[in-house]
Amino acid sequence: MNPQEFIDGLKRDKARGSLAPHQIILLIALSRIYKKSGKILSDILTLNSEFQEVWNSYKNEFKTTNNKLGMPLKAFVNKGYLTIKISEDINDFRNLSELESKISTLVIEDILITLFKADKIEEYLISRISK
């Protein structure tokens, strides 16, 4: 898989004049989880913790202060990059407490695993946060 093609194919919001970093931050967080554990399974608390850690590391690279995980998570689920096991339907992906109470497991799908195996992928993802 070509990382540039994958990232260029993401639909990243540009409502406030610059590309939203959320999907790239989510990719970095997922990549780190996968590399640390070697597993394709995670939970929402681990994912949000890693997402916030990555966000805080790179928050000076972009303008937005909205560090919510929900909408990029929903986008990845809708695209088939992640599968979530839920106890009941999620009404509001923007509500972290709802996500925490309803998502039991996250499964990283093969397309992302392939992406994460690319040479120097985290460096590349970091370079794409704001472009």
pLDDT digits (tens, 9 = 90+) for 3-48: 999 999 998 877 566 788 999 999 999 999 999 998 889 999 999 9
Range 3-7+21-127 classified under CATH 1.10.10.10: yes
Q: Tell me the per-residue pLDDT of 96-120, one tens digit each, with 9 for 90 and over.
A: 999 999 999 999 999 999 999 999 9
Closest alpha carbon to 22 in 89, 93, 91, 84: 93
Q: Tell me the per-residue pLDDT of 66-75, one tens digit each, with 9 for 90 and over.
A: 999 999 999 9
**Model pTM greater than 0.85?**
yes
Inter-residue contact 29 to 54 (CB < 8 Å): yes
Structure confidence at residue 109 (pLDDT): 96
Distance CA 124, CA 14 (A): 20
Inter-residue contact 98 to 74 (CB < 8 Å): no
- The C-alpha R_g of the chain, in whole angstroms, comes to 14
